[in-house]
A = this chain, B = another copy of it.
Amino acid sequence: MRRERMPLPTARRLPIYHRVLRGLEWSGQAASSRVSSSLLAQLTGFTAALVRRDLAHLGSFGTPGAGYAVPELRRRLQAVLGLDRTWSVALVGAGNLGRALLGYRGFAERGYRIAGVFDRDAASHGRPVGELVVRPMEDLPRVVREQRIAIAVLAVPAAGAQDATEVIVGAGVRGILNFAPARLRVPADVHLVNVDLTIEMEMLAYLLTNMGQSAASG
């Protein structure tokens, strides 16, 4: 079993394998109790060698000549990805994007429970969003403590993003999913994942402007 640190690109692909395996299991007759690296390659768009290399990081699960056992592999991925627990999430920013994220089914389905919605703007306080109510930023530290919130989803305008980050980090949250188009400064022990819609869009415009052939990205 691998004990070296897994490459980050590999970690990014694990959720994709997991999704594909769920699909196989769901549509799963007897025929799909095992998968080969080449079938996984076909379903994900990666190469077979890469699939084997990635899965080898999880330990030896494949049987030579037969492939990987679907349920076993899926369970292992689920465990590694922390998908068997429920994560409590704070949503910071109750604007357009924030409210859309709150309603996004994909999160709930994967065990992410939005346990509090916060906004700086006093006009929004008390307004109902989904089953929750928008609260002032000042309440965040207490709610984080009470609800054991581990992840914050940041969906505020760029101008207020760093301020909000200070509050989030100050409250002890160590994982931030940032949708604000801004480069945030966080301490080394805080994990930051940026999802920058404008960058992705500009990347696409760049590809269309400068590149004839495609080069899949993301």
List chain B residues, Cβ under 8 A from A1: none
User: Is B193 a contact partner of A213 (Cβ separation < 8 A)?
Assistant: no
Number of copies: 2
Chain B residue with minimal CB distance to A106?
B198
Chain B residue with minimal CB distance to A13?
B199
| A214/B192 contact (C-beta < 8 A), A181-B19, A205-B87, A208-B151 known | yes
Select one of B190, B194, B205, B216 contacting A83, CB under 8 A.
B205
User: Is B97 a contact partner of A208 (Cβ separation < 8 A)?
Assistant: no
Select one of B44, B96, B150, B183 contacting A100, CB under 8 A.
B96
Q: Compute how far the CA of A217 lies from the CA of B19 in the bound complex, rounded to whole angstroms.
A: 21
Q: Compute how far the CA of A80 lies from the CA of B6 in the bound complex, rounded to whole angstroms.
A: 35
User: Is A82 a contact partner of B206 (Cβ separation < 8 A)?
Assistant: yes
Q: Compute how far the CA of A178 lies from the CA of B218 in the bound complex, rounded to whole angstroms.
A: 10
List chain B residues, Cβ under 8 A from A145: none
User: Is A204 a contact partner of B197 (Cβ separation < 8 A)?
Assistant: no
User: Smallest Cβ distance from A188 to chain B, in angstroms?
Assistant: 5
Q: Does A15 contact B (CB under 8 A)?
A: yes
Select one of B15, B185, B212 contacting A189, CB under 8 A.
B212
Q: Assuming A45-B183, A81-B205, A192-B217, what are 14 further A-B pairs, CB within 8 angstroms?
A: A8-B215, A8-B217, A12-B217, A14-B206, A81-B206, A83-B205, A96-B100, A106-B181, A107-B201, A110-B202, A151-B205, A175-B205, A189-B213, A193-B204
